[in-house]
Amino acid sequence: MGSSMKEYRDKILGGSIIKTALWLGLPLMIVQIVEVSCNVADAFWLSKYSDIAMAIPRQAWPPFMFFNALSIALSAANLALISQYVGAKEFSSASKVASRYFTASIILGFLLGIAYIALRPIIFTYIMKVPEEIYDEVFAYAGVIAIDMMISYVVLAYSTILQSIGDTKRPAIVNGATALINIVLDPLMILGLGFFPRLGAIGAALATVISRGIGCFALFLIVEKLYPDLKVRITRDIGIDWIIANLKIGLPVLIMLNSIAKMLQLRLVNIFGVIVATAYS
């Protein structure tokens, strides 16, 4: 038990500091560059669709990040918890924590995705005051991107679990490939090339959901097939000790990532109309 995790543990603890830092950190840096390129591609193709379409995702993302902040806080906490058990050679405890984290991510991702869908009228009408010219499209875009949130919670859980045992390369490859698929799908679904319908910002959201779903399935296969000793399962044994540990480690991260200020900032921008909102985007 624990052969794969032990292999990464020994490689990290026994290797040179600089080489290990590059081996662990370089894949994460590369995937960040690819994901930024994906955002640039989104903006480019939306600008080809209409003059104001770029403003649509910009309106939906601050509330998305508000609901998604919990996944990043959980990631920070469980990266620390799992890697600590791997370092101590307590591989069964690492698997138990990974299963708790995975289960919580599925439940919270689903509940917060539903909450985002249900609270859209309040968020976009009263909190952010989205310009009426793009309100309907922002509303629809947010509904689709809420599905992406549900998947993202699971994707980040799988990625964090793999990173916590020392495998940063495979989740980086999967997430990088996911971003590239998104880049390819963007013009097809935004502009309606070939047999695809012309969907505008909704197409951009659908491209994100499709590519994220593919990435989630790929990460599932990696964890199940390549790491049989890392038993990540849905569990009822969440445990109060795990919850307390997550609060201690993750709560400061959650507070830091709060995006309410961004939503209020956008509200101020939106007062000046859709042209200013687009320019701000």
Q: What is the tens place of the pLDDT at every residue in 192-222? A: 988 889 999 999 999 999 999 999 999 999 9
Q: Taking CA 250 as the corner, what is the angle to CA 248 and CA 256, rounded to the nearest 5 degrees? A: 120
Full-model pTM? 0.90
Least confident of 7-21, 25-39, 65-79: 7-21
pLDDT at position 62: 93
**pLDDT, average across residues 162-171:** 89
Least confident of 71-75, 85-89, 119-123, 208-212: 85-89
More confident site: 194 or 180:
180
**pLDDT, average across residues 101-118:** 97
pLDDT at position 281: 74
pLDDT at position 17: 72
Say how many residues make up the chain.
281
pLDDT-derived band at 31 (thresholds 50, 70, 90) equals confident
Dihedral sign of CA atoms 266, 270, 276, 278 in order: positive
The mean pLDDT of the chain is 89
The total of other beta-carbon atoms located within 10 Å of residue 255's CB is 10
pLDDT at position 211: 96
CA dist list (Å): 1 to 53, 98, 102, 160, 181: 53, 15, 20, 21, 36
How far apart CA 189 and CA 194 sit, in angstroms, is 9
pLDDT of residue 164 exceeding 80: yes
Range of the domain at 268: 3-280
**pLDDT, average across residues 155-176:** 91
How far apart CA 41 and CA 253 sit, in angstroms, is 29
Query: How many domains in the chain?
Result: 1
pLDDT of residue 246 exceeding 70: yes
